[in-house]
Amino acid sequence: MERSIQELENERSDPEEAADRRRLSRRHVLHGLSLAWFAGFLKAPVPFGERAPDGLVPVSAWAAEPGAVLAEKPGLTILSDRPINAETPAHLLDDAITPTSRLFVRNNGLAPIATDTGSWRFTVGGESCLGPRTFSIADLKRDFEQVTYQLQLECGGNGRAEFRPRVSGNQWSTGAIGCPTWTGVRLRDVIDACGVRDDAVYVAYRGADRHLSGDAAREVISRGVPVAKAREAESLLAFAMNGEPLPDIHGGPLRMVCGGWPGSVSGKWITEILVRDQVHDGAKMGGSSYRVPCEPVAPGDQPDAFCIIESMPVKSLVTHPAHEANVVVGQPFVVRGHAWAGDRSVVKVAVSIDFGASWQAADLSTPANRLAWQRWETLIRLPQRGYYEIWAKATDDAGVSQPMVLPGWNPKGYLNNAAHRIAVHAT
């Protein structure tokens, strides 16, 4: 039975419970599992099995526990319900432009109680702002150029479920990514209208979300970006998504959108924009929040220093066919998906059906605009009956490719961009 957000919130009696209370384990690590054993379990051959790397866990062995769903987002699975966090299965991200109903949800606190567009106000201020001002949504629409861009939005912890040793937090698999269209005004136009001092370093936000504790004095999250990122043409104060008013669940009536960087910098329910003369020091800017070790560490170790995550790494996703699909032996079928690379662009996507022993190039589209993901597609033919894995990896314009194994472990499980794998069964 589908449950609404309010119903799920009402179930919780302890407001201090962490967001990972009901996290789902997406991928059970089955140590020592061999492809030979797996073939027996499937009662089907594993073509190219001899080419699989030692210790490979077949992607069909990854188990997803059943979870609740969001009534307004059918098909998404809740990873935590207080605050609401929900991810999208890869096959539901097949659209070129992510539908609103299929965009993942990432909240750090509880949504504001009232979000009336007509009465909404936000201020622009901070040490490096020459003339603090207050704006309404109507002011933005009247006084500034309105623009629309398709922009990638990805949680910094997307892929966290794969890291071992396990780390705390929502156990995202691959579904904390989307690329809808956003309509709003350029962030730079708004801060320039107020005046920016030469010593400006950072542009940050504060929002109206509520702390899980119920303490109105406790800030949920307040992050931002360096001035150079804030001044990019695609960095927006957005009030619409996919041609409709921005939904409450996605930060309506007003949010920041800074595509290509972790979604945490794209603040929701904006009440304040701060032009700072220092790196912002708001909630979840310090410690290990949205930071990775400045130098690599061994799994389980604690680093000496953390560095703030900025541009997200190159990544790809197989969106068709769906994981565990059945296909006909010898008949060609379409394999497609998306690829993106933070501030960079993708120049190549390759696909393998033999555990990475060989690769074939996919056709790759140009992005709709800078910081949008790119569609890729190719035809595959499976030569005999059995279990196969389709692997996809992307390469960006700096020559950086996705790794075939997990990237460097980090204590918060950020930036997993290992090549995407799905299982298919040829019959």
SS3 150: strand
Domain 121-291+300-308, CATH among 3.90.420.10, 2.40.50.140, 3.40.190.10, 3.30.160.150: 3.90.420.10
Do the Cβ atoms of 246 and 229 come closer than 8 Å? no
No. of helices (H) and no. of strands (E), the chain: 5, 26
pLDDT confidence tier of residue 54, bands split at 50, 70 and 90: confident
Q: Does residue 306 contact residue 410 with C-beta atoms inside 8 Å?
A: no
The C-alpha atoms of residue 166 and residue 400 are separated, in whole angstroms, by: 26
Q: What average pLDDT does this structure show over 181-200?
A: 98
Report yes or no: 367 and 373 within 8 Å, Cβ to Cβ: yes
Domain boundaries, the chain: 28-61+292-299+309-427, 121-291+300-308
**CATH assignment of 28-61+292-299+309-427?**
2.60.40.650
**Ramachandran angles phi, psi of 265, nearest 5°:** -85, -10
Match 């089955």 to its residue by tokens. Answer: 30
pLDDT of residue 66 exceeding 60: no
- Give all strands of the β-sheet with 374-380 in edge-to-edge order: 315-320, 333-340, 374-380, 363-364
CA separation for the pair 353, 360 (Å, rounded): 9
pLDDT one-digit tens code per residue, 106-122 = 999 999 998 899 999 99
| 128 within 8 A of 275, measured Cβ to Cβ | yes
pLDDT digits (tens, 9 = 90+) for 296-316: 999 999 999 999 999 999 999
Q: Which residue has the tokens 């910098």?
A: 265
Q: Is the pTM of this model over 0.85?
A: yes
Reported confidence tier of residue 135, pLDDT bands at 50, 70, 90: very high
On the question of pLDDT at 20 being above 80, the answer is no
